[in-house]
A and B are shown apart, each in its own frame.
Chain A
């Protein structure tokens, strides 16, 4: 079965450090999503790409978060500087237009 692959699976770092999360979408999928999941807020959409172009990043704090797709096989989400409130599980999902999304298993991020 094709899968969305996220790395790292876990990340613990200190406040102020840069964090980079990576996602390898399913081959052939042309849409990529980044979500953040917390107990309080549930699943929140952070950013959304179609054919590597950002279509919506309104859910993302612009001053510290950035999302890119340097090529069709890699999506990245960066936080700089990180803050304790960024602690969450970050999911990447990929899909095709008008087809359901497939999620990776997430990166569990803890900012101390």
Chain B
């Protein structure tokens, strides 16, 4: 119930392409869904987040799509750049504080 599933485990995209990472959850009580970006040797950094009353949120090239009925949410990176190469984690929270993280997706954007 507390688990967040994430796919794919790794992703290779050409520069300018669209990167899509998917996550799924079971616990319908989750009320906050952030995405974190992590570069090697650094801690995860908040990228974008959404609440379940919204179906989509866009910030620059990053968009979260949220499907409450399917209990799924996804991150889309438009016009992917080599600088986007990192590990991406989805997460879900019950109370806005205690987060459950997905296993991560390693994204490589080829120049």
**A residues with CB within 8 A of B:** 4, 31, 42-43, 45, 48, 50, 56, 91, 93, 95, 97-106
Residues of A within 8 A of B45 (CB): 103
15 new A-B pairs (CB below 8 Å) besides A42-B102, A95-B97, A100-B34? A42-B103, A43-B101, A45-B98, A48-B98, A56-B98, A91-B43, A91-B44, A98-B96, A98-B97, A99-B96, A100-B46, A101-B46, A103-B43, A105-B43, A106-B43
Measured in the bound complex, the distance between the Cα atoms of B104 and A99 in whole Å is 21
Q: Which residues of A contact B96 (CB under 8 A)?
A: 97-99
* Interface size of B as a range: 20 to 34
How many cross-chain pairs have Cβ atoms below 8 Å apart between A and B? Answer: 46
Q: Which residues from B are CB-within-8-Å of A102?
A: 46
| B42 CB within 8 Å of chain A | yes
